[in-house]
Every structure is written in C-alpha cells, then in structure tokens.
Structure 1
Amino acid sequence: MSEFKARTVYATAGKYEEVTKDNIEKDNLLYYTPFFDIDTKIDKWEYAVKAAEVIVSQLEKEGVEKSIYLLWSGEGIHVRINENSIPKDYYPLTAAHAIVQYIIEKSRNDLQKLSESSGGVLKVDELIDSKRIFTAPLSFHRELNYVAVCFSPDKLSKFSLDWANPQNFIHEEGIYERYEENETEDLLTKAIQSYKPSHEGVKPRKRKVTKTRENTGESMNEAKIGRFQVMGIVQAARYYVLYGNMDKAKSFGLNRAIFYAWAKYYGKGYAPKYSKTTVPSEFRKDRVLANVAGEQVYQDTEKGYYIIGDKMQTPEDYDREIKDKIEPIISYDKAWDATIKYVSSFPKEVLENQREFFEKVYLPIRDKFIEKVINRKSGLDAFFSS
C-alpha cells in the first residue's frame, strides 16, 4: 500500500464471472450486493447507528436476518445483504435495487424523523447502479483516521467509534460471507411489485421551490422530461384517443410506463416469480387479461384499472408519478393537450399496434419531448418552417 501511496481500497458492488471491459460495459453481472448507504457527520455518528437499527428491524420483519452484516465506512454505516441470499432467477441489479427501495420506503417515516432530529445531517441513499463501488473491509476512510470494520446486527447497539480505531479495531472477519440461500425470496416478491427505476433515498426536507423558466432562467428547450414520464403521458394519450376514458387512460399510461421500465431492466425472457402464498394472475378472479391497443395487460374486474403484479395503477398514482413530475418543467395541461394532438396525428392502426406505436410514436420523442411535441409545428406553421 505504501508503495502506491494508497489509503482507501474499494470493491465493486457487483460480481462478474470475469472482470473484463466487455462484461463491465454490458453489465454482465452474476451477483450484486444490496446495500443501504447511511451518511452522517462524525460528531453525530450515533444517528447512523439509529438509522441502521431502523433498517435492520424492517429487514427482520420481512424475514431477512441471517444474511445481513454492517460496515462502518468511516463517516456512516452500510447495511449490506449477502448477494447469495437473492434468488438466481432475478437480474441481480434490479433485485438489489428493488429490495433497497422497498425497505427504505417502508422505513421512510422513521428515517425522516431521524434525519430531521440530526439537524439534516443524516442521509440514507439508495446508490444501486451497475458501476457502483464501495469501501472494502479493513480499508481506511479516504480522509478520516478510521478503519472500515464489519460486524453483525446483534452487535449494533454496542458499536462505538473505538471499534474503528486503526490501533485497536474490532472487526468480525468473515461476517460478510454468512448467508442463507434465497432468504430474500419473499421480500423480493413483494418489493418487485412496487419497484421503480429511480433513486430517492431519505434526505432532510427542504422548502419546496418549484422550478420554472422564470426562476431558473432555463429555456423550455433546455429543460428535459424523463423517459418514464414521457412514456406515461404518451401511453395515456394513446388510450384516451382510442377509448376516451380519462381515469383508465391514466391507469394504462402509468401501467405501460412501469412495464417498459421493467422490460429494460429485466431484459428479455423475464417472468415474475411467485412466492408460495401468491396466486399467479391467470388464476385470480379479481382480474382479467385484456387486449388493450394491441398489448396484453391485466385489468381489475371491479374498477377497470390496470395491474402489474399485485399493484393496481390508479389515476392518483399517475398524477403523482407522471403529472407532478412534468408540472415543474411545463404546465401539465399544456403538455397533455400537445400530446393528444401529437398522438392523434397517427393512424389508428399505428396506435393499435404495440411495436409500431413504440417505434413510430414514442421512440422519436422520448428524449426530445418538448422540442417535438410541445413545440411541434403543424398546419401553415409547419409548411413555412420547412
């Protein structure tokens, strides 16, 4: 170490059959370690311990106990789950992210209170991505004179900074190798139903300031609406143009946005795995498999809204995930009207064909929604600008 003047050693959160440039660039992961990143300041390290207790408690409620270990990272704690506890029939990155996201959401209220009582110092992040690296056990912190030590959850209440003293550290060697195979299976079955490919975490609340062109100086062409929201509003408009029911259009729009996000993260050939207590959708009486605009989608038999896994997508869900995310950039009503006009410009046979809709309607605008939909010229304007 001294030869290279190195201080901190990092390891990849993902494991590969072989560490090659091709495997890394293509995200050819065999395993991925789910971890909760708890950050604080050294003078308020106790808050990291309290946050870790909240997360560990929630994991234990979900049936995950034997595969958990903790690592003091120098100025916070990682709660990690051994990657071998994840069923092999899930894509490792998605499985890890779904678990972390689900547990944080279940613990959000308690974690938010801790963050606020810490004076906004405590943060809990979901830093799950394919290129993620984290501190290796027994490595020094990059700045502070503390060692990254590992210990089991049952010792969490006894932890103190003395454990990380490089002159006399306390470290449970091999605790990170302890696991129970498929221990996360039931948790993952639930987590995957509400999974969203986004990163939120828990941070101190700030006074909300709505970003607009007026207070940011950003032109509407420079602002960008995320692909998830673009897919949601375009699919909702597609449904509305074809069938005319606003509430069901919102449900369908969010449902398809989630579906295509899942398809991207899972890859081809993914089939949801059911726990022993879950009845597969095709055998349930509360839903039917409907053909909507050329797409197969489960529909609630009572309310008529659409379903993925065990979660129904409601108009309120759409407003929260699509409308409210568009509104700070541009008036949603303006975006909706423009999207209806855009979608209506395509023949009905395109709107009723899954592949053609994706390739001809969605793909050309997914990264240029404002330019090609909001600012889209038509009629004489289009003629004179051509």
Structure 2
Amino acid sequence: MQKSVEKVFKHYLREEVESEIAKFCRGRWVAVECVSRGGRRIFHRYWDKDTPLTISEPADLKKILNKYGKMVPRTIYGSANIYRKLSSKHDLTNEDNILYATPSWDVDGSLDEIDLIKEAAEILLDELRKNGVEKSVYLIWSGRGIHVHLNERAIGDEIWKRGALRVSYSIVEYILRNAKDRLLKVCERSRASERRLKVENIMDIQRVFTAPLSLHRELDIVAVTVNPDELRDFDLSWTKLDDFRYWRDWNRCEEGEADELALKALEEIRGDERMRVAIEEKKETAQRIQPTRPIGRFQVMALLQAARYYILRGDINLAKSFGLNRAIFYAWAKKRGVTTRRARERAGVSVEHAEEIQEKIGDEVAFRSSRGWFAIGGQIQRPRDFDRQVAARFGGQFDRYWNSALEYLRNFPREVLESQREFYEKVYLPVRDNPRKLLEFSEKSDDLRR
C-alpha cells in the first residue's frame, strides 16, 4: 500500500503533470477522488465549507495533495463548465456565471476492444471535419475509453452568450445525430461481456472530465492527451505510469472555427433528448412492459416537481433528480405529520451539508451533493433513480404524461411555480389523485389550437 501511495504522489509532483492539470482546470470546478473505502467512492470538491476547489496554477495541486494527502488523492477532475469566478457555492448555481462549457463526446468500452473505441472516435472526428472543425479538437484517453473535446475558444463569445450549457449540448447532440448510423455499425461489432461499446451525449451542468495526465481512479494508467492525427497509432503503452506519452499542444485552437457548427446545431437541436449509440443486451423487463401498480401520489408529485424544475432551470437530468428529491421530502413530511415548513427545517438537519450546494428554486431550498445531484437524508437522487421509481410506473405512457405536465405547468404564472405553497395548492392538489387530468388538459389545449 505504501509503495502505491508513493507512486501516486511521485506522479502528481512531476512538473509536467502539475502544469498540464493546471492548464486544463483553470476556471473549472475541481473534484478530487481519493482511494475508495469499502467500495465507496470518495470525492472532495471544496477547500472549506463554502469555497469550491480550483486549480489555477501548479502550486494549487500541491495544496490539494497536502490537504487530502492522508486520504490518498487518486484522480483529478475538472468541470465541463468554465466559470467567471469561483469563490463560493453561490457561484456554482448561477448559470450567468458560466462562461463556457467544453463540448465533449464520451466513447466508452472495454480494454479488449480498443480498436473499436478508436474507430468510433475517428467517426466523430470525421463528422467534425465535415462541419469545418479540425484544428481545435483534442482527445483524452480516460482509462476505458476516449473523451473527444472541442476547445471552447473555437466558439465566439457572442454565441456563448446564448447559454453555455445550451450551446455545448446542441453541438454534441448535432454531431452524434449525424454520425449515428456509422457509430451504430461499429457498436454492433462490440462483443465485450462487460462494457460494450457506447457513444453518448453526457453534457449537463454537473459534468466533470478527467484532467489530462491525471491517474485513473482504479487502473495504474495515465489519462494522456492524444493528437487526433495520431489516434490510429495510439495503444495502451502510451498510458504507462512511469513512461507515459502525451500530446503537449492539446490546447491549440483556431478561434471561431466552430462558429458555423454551433449556429447550425442551435438551429436544429430544439428538444432535450440525448443521443446514446449502443447495442443493448435483450433482457426480460416484465415490470417495465406490464406495470401492475397504479400511479400514486408520490409519482405525481415527482413528475410535477421535475417539470417545474425543467421549466424554471432547463436541465432535464437535474429536473429528474429534483423531482424525486421533492417527492421524498413531501412523503417524509406527511409520514411525520408536520408542516412543510417545519419538515424542511428538520430534514435539513439530517443531511451533511459540508460538501453540498444549496440551491434555491423560488422560495424553496434544496441541496445538491458534491456529485451534482440533489440529496436528502444522506441519500442522492440520480436520474436513473427517477426513471426506476417514477417513470417506470407510467409504463409506456411516461413521455405523454411528461409533455402534458409541461403544458399544464406552463399554464400557471411563474410566481406560482416559484412559490412552494402555491405550487402545492394550485398545481399539485388539483391533479394529485387523478393524474389523467394532465392528459385531459393537454387534449383540450390541442382542441383549442385546431
């Protein structure tokens, strides 16, 4: 164990490692993953209770090693977002504080199928070239796959003003949709029993990426930068801990090179569905095909709260996390027979907030964990938890209910959606015991538009 720890510190104290990590992380919110305890992943994201971790210069990495040394820092991550300032938790929840969000594609697979991973990345690079982008792209071998990054400076500031998250999401989605057929053919050739090849759009507000020359969280390999022109020559020998090879000019950029691509993507990508190209194993999914349990109040609350967050903030994954979080909160309050105001105070006591972000949605306060998702009672609510506990109960009708819920909520003034009490009384209560009213409302609206 001691030798392993020494290897980690020796690596991070190398001058070139400190320099490249600082170059990538400057302006980003940093996450440090330490050696796991009992299978539990351990992240740190703050210097203290309120100040986000940042690395602006090599000396900051040394400070992190000193602060968390006993816990053995393993992997350094930087947020997809680049912020105007990062001095408090408030800066993280203010979308106007986000200057850029690095457009990135995630190619994930098995170490036994590296050639397929490289081939999928080549398809993405080819699609970017077709759209006039070639000199501002770099690759990072993340451990079991490749992150294809587009240098955010290739997009002009005027375009970024349209909303950093929207711009980056649209670019990634646009390229994926255009490359879908070719990517699918590569995925069909994947035969790995675990980690079959997949390519997806993972852009969202809490996304982090492995920093260049960071160590993988489990494998003793280095996350090396790769020149797109040399991708075909890449192999795992480049990632050796004591003898790694990387591309030093990964941050090269031609300013404005991706402007045309960004504008086309913003024009074409209107919805929020995310492209994921993969071949799924066929499994028995009887519960999903034939939901036997009725839609309950819990699911109605989660659905409406998710739609509420989506309308106010616009992030579908965080909306799912928030919706499930609030449904749990109200179920907790009802079970104990306390008012929602008192429940909020008491529920807040049970959550460890030192590593959490406080977020206000109107006059309501909720907490997000250091991983970005909402949390309550020490438990994190992830989008997949929402899909399992809420969306699955609607069976194949969830999309209809979701779109109807959005239409229903947009019928209310913004001040109602921002008020915890009015949302509960005016939005939730009228449909609480009869969620089909949402569909009926949508159908009536359609009739009026005809």
Q: TM-score range by the shorter chain?
A: 0.5 to 0.7
Q: Which residue of 1 aligns with 2:120?
A: 51
- For 1:228 and 1:204, the matched residues in 2 are separated by 32
The structure-2 alpha-carbon separation of the partners of 1:227 and 1:85, relative to structure 1 and needing over 3 Å to count, comes to: farther
- Look up the equivalent residue of 2:237 and give its one-letter code: D
Q: In structure 2, the residue corresponding to 1:154 is in which secondary structure?
A: helix
- Look up the equivalent residue of 2:394 and give its one-letter code: I
* Cα distance, 1:167 vs structure 2: 2.2
Q: In structure 1, the residue corresponding to 2:214 is in which secondary structure?
A: coil
- For 1:111 and 1:367, the matched residues in 2 are separated by 46
- For 2:201 and 2:104, the matched residues in 1 are separated by 8
* Cα distance, 1:200 vs structure 2: 3.4
- For 1:43 and 1:214, the matched residues in 2 are separated by 34
- For 2:396 and 2:247, the matched residues in 1 are separated by 55
Given that 1:365 and 1:373 are in contact with CA atoms closer than 8 Å, whether structure 2 keeps it comes out as: no
- For 1:132 and 1:42, the matched residues in 2 are separated by 23
Q: Which residue of 1 aligns with 2:74?
A: 7
In the TM superposition, what whole-angstrom CA distance separates every residue of 1:143-192 from its partner, at most 9, and x where no partner exists? 112111112211111111111112221111231x2111122111112211
Q: Which residue of 1 aligns with 2:174?
A: 102
Given that 1:210 and 1:328 are in contact with CA atoms closer than 8 Å, whether structure 2 keeps it comes out as: no
Q: How many residue pairs get matched?
A: 275
1:76 lines up with 2:145 in the alignment: yes
* Cα distance, 1:100 vs structure 2: 0.6
Q: Which residue of 2 aligns with 1:147?
A: 222
- Look up the equivalent residue of 2:184 and give its one-letter code: Q
Please, what TM-score do these two structures have when normalized by structure 2? 0.52
Please, what TM-score do these two structures have when normalized by structure 1? 0.60
Q: In structure 2, the residue corresponding to 1:329 is in which secondary structure?
A: helix
- For 2:244 and 2:429, the matched residues in 1 are separated by 51
State the structure with bigger RCO (CA 8 A, min sep 6), 1 or 2. Answer: 1
In the TM superposition, what whole-angstrom CA distance separates every residue of 1:200-225 from its partner, at most 9, and x where no partner exists? 32121344877767744543225569
Q: Which residue of 1 aligns with 2:294?
A: 219
**Aligned-residue RMSD, C-alpha:** 4.0
* Cα distance, 1:124 vs structure 2: 1.1
- Look up the equivalent residue of 1:329 and give its one-letter code: F
Q: In structure 2, the residue corresponding to 1:9 is in which secondary structure?
A: strand
Matches within 5 A, 1:308-327: none
- For 1:81 and 1:102, the matched residues in 2 are separated by 13
Given that 1:135 and 1:148 are in contact with CA atoms closer than 8 Å, whether structure 2 keeps it comes out as: yes
- For 1:134 and 1:66, the matched residues in 2 are separated by 21
Q: In structure 2, the residue corresponding to 1:144 is in which secondary structure?
A: coil
Matches within 5 A, 1:29-178: 29-88=98-157, 89=159, 90-119=162-191, 121-175=196-250, 177-178=251-252
Q: Which residue of 2 aligns with 1:18?
A: 85
- For 1:357 and 1:209, the matched residues in 2 are separated by 44
Given that 1:365 and 1:372 are in contact with CA atoms closer than 8 Å, whether structure 2 keeps it comes out as: no
- For 2:131 and 2:430, the matched residues in 1 are separated by 42
Q: In structure 1, the residue corresponding to 2:277 is in which secondary structure?
A: coil
The structure-2 alpha-carbon separation of the partners of 1:367 and 1:71, relative to structure 1 and needing over 3 Å to count, comes to: farther
- For 1:13 and 1:7, the matched residues in 2 are separated by 19
Higher helix proportion (structure 1 or 2): 2
Q: Which residue of 2 aligns with 1:235?
A: none
Given that 1:230 and 1:366 are in contact with CA atoms closer than 8 Å, whether structure 2 keeps it comes out as: no
The structure-2 alpha-carbon separation of the partners of 1:223 and 1:119, relative to structure 1 and needing over 3 Å to count, comes to: farther
- For 2:174 and 2:304, the matched residues in 1 are separated by 22
Q: 1:180 aligns with which of 238, 254, 262?
A: 254
In the TM superposition, what whole-angstrom CA distance separates every residue of 1:279-318 from its partner, at most 9, and x where no partner exists? xxxxxxxxxxxxxxxxxxxxxxxxxxxxxxxxxxxxxxxx
Select the structure of larger CA radius of gyration: 1
Q: In structure 1, the residue corresponding to 2:90 is in which secondary structure?
A: helix
Given that 1:149 and 1:170 are in contact with CA atoms closer than 8 Å, whether structure 2 keeps it comes out as: yes
The structure-2 alpha-carbon separation of the partners of 1:76 and 1:330, relative to structure 1 and needing over 3 Å to count, comes to: closer
* Cα distance, 1:9 vs structure 2: 1.2
Q: Which residue of 2 aligns with 1:277?
A: none
Q: Which residue of 1 aligns with 2:24?
A: none
